[in-house]
């Protein structure tokens, strides 16, 4: 967008019509662009946000909602739904913010906007893990840590041995007024409450027990807890269906990307690894929509430059190295750096170097002078090595000739010695044969 604000580009009414066709994920992203868009998104008590949950494909399930009961229904659940609806319209009249997010735009924001993980504190776009306690986890690892790092404790009860329980989970007199409305999760047949929720409830009881009528306040919270528990089962089913919808959207978009790669003669793995393509796929998977040919082509070209020889797109940060290594004949020798606004050039004597030197400075000249001095030094070293090699060769040849002459003299002596030793060994063998024959003959005669 240019320096003009969005209001000068299009009227607010047209922006409202455009935003009314966005999925909640996209709508909350738009709200972070500028104050104008945030004001448009949350204008009219969040009606645009409240209606955005219906913007979805036909095969995607809608989030569950609490429905207002009939007037003649006087059950605790019906009374709790009426109180939740009242506090959603008038948040200031409720002392607890957690009871204001089950109707209208606040409920849509709870389901689709990002929040902090209860365990590690990282920001996550995953839906709330439990709709009653409003616990949010960012990964399966945090889900395991939630149950093993003393973040949850069993609901305090007067039964059982209190000494075997953790100190925070032991029964106290004020818990008689708290356990009836305290939000809880179910785990292995037990009611589990958040440790910080239990601490806050006890601190609140100690501060208001002498100032306000406790039965009325706690009765309302008990009714609202019954209403929230009626929503839990439907919410869990919706979370499972959303997970399936995201997997289906991932498969559809991956199949489309592979088809695009096959048609354009590009490796599918190369496209799927591109950061811009991954970002576009994640955005469409979150909104449970499908990529289009134009959006995928724009994402693939973003951050890439075309190679005229290979007829492919190469990442911008390695394009120069690609052309120098594979196609040095088309590698540019000069360019205009858009970031610094200066003209740069490469060294003409280093065709395989991707380093740029600013035009108008002596950096390139110093580089060339250094290379020239290195070449002179290398030539001197080469000449010295060649002369040394020649001297060594001559001395080696003379030593070889001397060795040959000596070996000839030694050869003659060695041949004479060998002949003498051979005659001696023959004489000894003949004598041995004679002696052995004589002994054998004598034994035979005997």
Residue 271 main-chain phi, psi, to 5 deg: -75, -40
φ/ψ bin of 188: left (φ > 0), alpha (ψ from -120 to 50), beta (otherwise): left
State phi, psi for 373 to the nearest 5 degrees: -65, -35
Question: How much is the pLDDT for 380?
Answer: 55
Average pLDDT, the chain: 77
Higher-pLDDT residue of 371 and 48 is 48
Is residue 125 predicted with pLDDT exceeding 60? Answer: yes
When pLDDT is averaged across residues 185-200 and rounded to a whole number, the result is 87
Distance CA 176, CA 46 (A): 39
What whole-number distance in Å separates Cα of residue 9 and Cα of residue 317? 34
410 contacts 417 by C-beta, under 8 angstroms:
no
What is the pLDDT, as a whole number, of residue 420? 52
Least confident of 71-80, 92-101, 388-397: 388-397
Stretch 110-122: mean pLDDT: 87
* Helix residue ranges per DSSP H, 95-213: 104-112, 140-148, 175-178, 195-208
Q: How confident is the model at residue 255 (pLDDT cuts 50, 70, 90)?
A: very high
Q: Which residues sit opposite 314 in a β-bridge?
A: 305
Rounded to 10 degrees, what is the CA torsion of 306, 310, 311, 312?
Answer: -60
pLDDT per residue as tens digits for the range 130-163: 999 999 988 888 888 888 888 898 899 888 888 8
Spatial separation of the C-alpha atoms in residues 409 and 420, rounded to whole Å: 17
Using the predicted structure, report yes or no on whether residue 168 has a pLDDT greater than 60.
yes
Residue 421 pLDDT class (50, 70, 90 cuts): low
Q: Output the pTM of the full model.
A: 0.59
Tokens in use for 380?
A: 């001197």
pLDDT score recorded for residue 256: 92
Q: Is 193 helix (H, G, I), strand (E, B) or coil?
A: strand
Rounded distance between C-alpha atoms, residue 286 and residue 192, angstroms: 31
Judged by average pLDDT, the poorest of 8-12, 120-124, 303-307 is 303-307
pLDDT exceeds 70 at position 343: yes
Mean pLDDT along residues 100-111: 87
What's the confidence (pLDDT) of residue 435?
44
pLDDT at 241: 83
**Average pLDDT rounded to a whole number, residues 160-184:** 88
Residue 186: predicted pLDDT: 84
Mean pLDDT of 322-340: 78
What is the number of other CB atoms lying within 10 angstroms of the CB of residue 369?
A: 11
């Amino acid at each position: 967008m240019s320096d003009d604000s969005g209001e000068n580009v299009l009227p607010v009414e047209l922006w409202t019509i455009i935003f009314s066709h966005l999925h909640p994920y996209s709508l909350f992203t738009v709200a972070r662009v500028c104050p104008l868009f945030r004001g448009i998104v949350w204008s009219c008590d969040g009606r645009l946000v409240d209606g955005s949950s219906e913007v979805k494909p036909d095969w995607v399930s809608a989030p569950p909602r609490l429905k207002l009961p009939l007037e003649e229904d006087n059950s605790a659940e019906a009374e709790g739904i009426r109180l939740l609806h009242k506090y959603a319209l008038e948040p200031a009249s409720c002392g607890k913010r957690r009871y204001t997010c089950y109707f209208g735009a606040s409920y849509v924001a709870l389901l689709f906007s990002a929040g902090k993980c209860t365990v590690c504190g990282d920001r996550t776009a995953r839906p709330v893990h439990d709709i009653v306690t409003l616990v949010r986890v960012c990964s399966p690892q945090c889900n395991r840590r939630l149950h093993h790092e003393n973040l949850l404790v069993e609901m305090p009860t007067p039964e059982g041995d209190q000494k075997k329980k953790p100190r925070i989970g032991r029964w106290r007199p004020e818990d008689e007024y708290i356990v009836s409305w305290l939000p809880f999760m179910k785990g292995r047949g037990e009611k589990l409450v958040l440790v910080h929720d239990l601490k806050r409830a006890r601190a609140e009881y100690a501060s208001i027990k002498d100032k306000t009528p406790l039965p009325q306040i706690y009765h309302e919270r008990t009714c609202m807890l019954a209403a929230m528990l009626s929503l839990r089962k439907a919410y869990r089913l919706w979370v499972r269906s959303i997970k399936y919808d995201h997997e289906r959207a991932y498969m559809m978009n991956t199949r489309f990307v592979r088809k695009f790669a096959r048609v354009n003669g590009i490796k599918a793995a190369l496209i799927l690894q591109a950061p811009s393509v991954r970002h576009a796929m994640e955005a469409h998977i979150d909104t449970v929509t499908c990529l289009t040919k134009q959006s995928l082509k724009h994402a693939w070209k973003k951050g890439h430059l075309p190679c005229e020889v290979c007829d492919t797109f190469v990442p911008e940060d390695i394009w120069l190295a690609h052309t120098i290594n594979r196609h040095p004949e088309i590698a540019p020798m000069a360019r205009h750096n858009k970031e610094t606004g200066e003209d740069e050039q490469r060294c003409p004597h280093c065709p395989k170097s991707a380093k740029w030197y600013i035009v108008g400075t002596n950096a390139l000249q110093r580089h060339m002078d250094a290379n020239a001095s290195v070449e002179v030094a290398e030539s001197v070293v080469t000449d010295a090595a060649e002369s040394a090699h020649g001297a060594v060769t001559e001395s080696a040849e003379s030593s070889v000739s001397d060795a040959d002459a000596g070996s000839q003299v030694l050869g003659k002596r060695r041949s004479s010695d060998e002949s003498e030793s051979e005659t001696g060994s023959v004489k000894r063998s003949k004598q041995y044969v004679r002696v052995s024959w004589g002994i054998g003959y004598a034994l035979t005669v005997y």
